[in-house]
């Protein structure tokens, strides 16, 4: 055999011996480590401290979550209010212009028309936001949406137990009552 073949065979044998030695060492190590390292059960006090620590951390996380949620809710409400206010500013501007012009104008028809235009603009903005007036005249009295201010003798037999007059209009906001109608009921 040539020298190069002998060298390669020797190198392969040396590598195999090295790998076998490493495997043997690895097998010995776990056995040697086990007796030296004994696993012991945590004591009741250690377990109590661990559980108490987890509880305190969870409680602190919950408190932070609650504060953050309340802050976000307040931010949402204030930004919603800002949107409504922004949409009502043109109505305020119209009123200011009307007041300035009313000081010079003596024509009553023009004043009435101007105020009607401002009212319509204001009403349309509120309707777009979900506000809806209650229709209560001649409707049966319902304590869920009406507040009886007075009872009067019914002018007609068919108006007994029904709304005769509206003192103050009631309103819904997205199908929820936000102001009860103050009404006079026929007896």
Q: pLDDT tens digit string along 149-187?
A: 999 988 888 888 889 999 999 999 998 999 999 999 988
125-140 mean pLDDT: 91
Is 36 among the domain residues?
no
Label the pairing between strands 146-152 and 181-186.
Answer: parallel
Q: How confident is the model at residue 77 (pLDDT cuts 50, 70, 90)?
A: confident
Predicted pLDDT of residue 29: 47
Most confident of 25-39, 62-76, 145-159: 62-76
Distance CA 77, CA 69 (A): 12
pTM: 0.56
Clarify whether residues 114 and 143 are in a common domain.
no
Of 105, 129, 153, which residue sits at a domain end?
129
Among 187, 183, 153, CA closest to 168: 183
Whether the per-residue pLDDT at 23 is higher than 70: the answer is no
In CATH, what number is assigned to the domain containing residue 169? 2.30.22.10
Mean pLDDT taken over the chain:
83
Say yes or no: 60 and 125 in one domain.
yes
Residues 65 and 121 in one domain: yes
Please give the pLDDT value at position 25: 53
Q: Does the pLDDT value for residue 1 go beyond 70?
A: no
Query: Containing domain of residue 101, as a range?
Result: 56-129
Q: Which of the given ranges, 7-11, 33-37, 172-176, has the highest pLDDT on average?
A: 172-176
137 secondary structure, DSSP code = T
16 occurs within a structural domain: no
The token duo for 106 is: 């003596």
The alpha carbon of 122 is separated from its chain's Cα centroid by a whole number of angstroms, namely 28
* Claim to verify: residue 138 and residue 162 sit in the same structural domain: yes
Domain final residue, candidates 81, 97, 129: 129
- One domain, residues 120 and 146: no
Domain annotation covers residue 25: no
């Amino acid at each position: 055999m040539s020298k190069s073949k002998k060298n390669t065979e020797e190198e392969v044998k040396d590598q195999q011996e090295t790998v076998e030695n490493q495997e043997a060492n690895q097998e010995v190590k776990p056995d040697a480590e086990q007796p030296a390292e004994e696993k012991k059960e945590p004591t009741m006090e250690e377990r109590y401290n661990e559980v108490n620590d987890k509880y305190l951390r969870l409680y602190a996380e919950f408190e932070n979550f609650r504060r953050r949620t309340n802050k976000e809710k307040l931010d949402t409400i204030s930004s919603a209010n800002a949107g409504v206010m922004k949409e009502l500013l043109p109505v305020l501007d119209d009123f200011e212009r009307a007041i300035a012009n009313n000081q010079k104008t003596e024509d009553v028809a023009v004043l009435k028309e101007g105020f009607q235009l401002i009212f319509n603009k204001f009403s349309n903005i509120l309707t777009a936001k979900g506000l809806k007036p209650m229709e209560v005249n001649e409707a049966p009295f319902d304590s869920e949406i009406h507040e009886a201010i007075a009872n009067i003798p019914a002018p007609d037999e068919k108006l007994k137990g029904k709304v005769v007059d509206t003192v103050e209009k009631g309103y819904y906001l997205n199908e929820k009552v936000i102001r009860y109608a103050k009404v006079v009921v026929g007896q």
